A and B are shown apart, each in its own frame.
Chain A
């Protein structure tokens, strides 16, 4: 087949699968949260309540798409698009299988870091354009939280980069033929997981949203499909971080017996469920606790991890 055509097919398949999965996550999250809270969750619409997503979508499309008169209109409209764009662009470098990867580049991880930094703009701009004090507080929290957690997010991945000797995600997966990086890089995995939760603004790090204090934080003023884009963007972020964790630390598509696609899907799904479990079990920390934890513990720990990994790699003379 024509390689360009093949690429387009791969792009379309990944786009469709990722968007549908993140929409289905709304259902999955509600069912799993209910499961862990001794309830049933949505189980009325369709088999197992699966069509609940469709019902939600129909509802959200028919909602009034309201822009407050005091808002900065163009930024207000553009902000939700940024988060979708940045997260979807990041999926371009994720190697789902050797075949299902949109683009293979030797700076994949840097690309991911850059895109996730750009994603913060979505939230800060949304909060600023809303012209609302609660939104502004949420945006302020988002900015400082992302800033401090992104620092050691980058550092926590560097251990795997050193072991694999490349920023390319495919090379990182291929370097895990013998041993998953979660074993030599356990600390890096834990740090990346924490930073990833903060990056997707999921509980327990959902302080920018913090519905019990800030109405709905940065998207207080959003309604209709613009709110829906923040909503789906958050789930896209969960899928992205879960896929990245399985690629970086759990050997991506590598695994016995089953085909590669099944392995990457299983691993990603496991971490998605873990994200939901965190939401079911964890309370939200205070903001100063969050910041001091990030700077005083997680950053030094990731620096130590980096130094030790570097020393070991040097000593082994690779």
Chain B
């Protein structure tokens, strides 16, 4: 009996406690920089697309919301012809970001994706590409990967030794 009266009194006193509610549209909640929100495609420091259309994000995606078509530019660089993310399916798990070898696909702290039309949630490449580098400012995949492209031969990447001359290895 005493405990009932006590708990009634204690609950009544909660009237004077501060509210925990974040009044969302008026008062934005803090979203950490690494929050997993809207997905973007970033560019490297030279302003080129980072995505090399390797399909790893599409494979890693547990709900199959990413689809793309790879193609090659005249310099031999792969890039996506089109890139499509269906945000009505996306579960913002971040596996695409973890799978990406070039830091191209990134999740951003933006959660305001509400739409009146479901079709508007399908984002095409021009909706996804941003102008900057996102979370990894200095990184340029083509400068550090030992892949041969037209304006860079093997062994010319940063922190990469020239390839061994096979003939000198002969016994």
Contacts and interface: CB of A to CB of B under 8 A. Distances in A.
A182 interface: no
B1 to A, nearest CB: 10
B12 interface: yes
B16 to A, nearest CB: 10
A280 B11 contact: yes
13 contacts: A35-B14, A35-B15, A38-B18, A38-B19, A38-B20, A38-B21, A39-B21, A40-B21, A277-B12, A281-B7, A281-B11, A282-B4, A282-B8
Interface in B8-36: 8, 10-12, 14-15, 17-21, 23
B19 A40 contact: yes
A13 to B, nearest CB: 33
Interface residues of A, number: 11
Dominant SS at the A interface?
helix
Contacts of B15: 35-36
Contact of A282 (B7, B14, B17): B7
B8 A277 contact: yes
Contacts of B8: 277-278, 281-282
Nearest to B9: A281
A38 B14 CA distance: 7
A104 to B, nearest CB: 36
A39 B22 CA distance: 9
Interface string A32-53: 0001111110000000000000
B19 A39 contact: yes
Contacts of B12: 36, 277, 281
Given A277-B8, A281-B7, A282-B4, A39 B14 contact: no
A278 B8 CA distance: 7
A39 B7 CA distance: 18
Nearest to A273: B12
Given A40-B23, A282-B7, 5 more contacts: A39-B19, A39-B21, A277-B12, A280-B11, A282-B8
A277 B12 CA distance: 7
Instruction: Name which of B11, B14, B15, B20 has the most chain A CB atoms within 10 A of its CB.
Output: B11
Contact of A39 (B4, B11, B20): B20
A36 B8 CA distance: 10
A172 to B, nearest CB: 27
Contact of B14 (A37, A40, A278): A37
Nearest to B18: A38
Nearest to B11: A281
B11 A36 contact: yes
Contacts of A35: 14-15
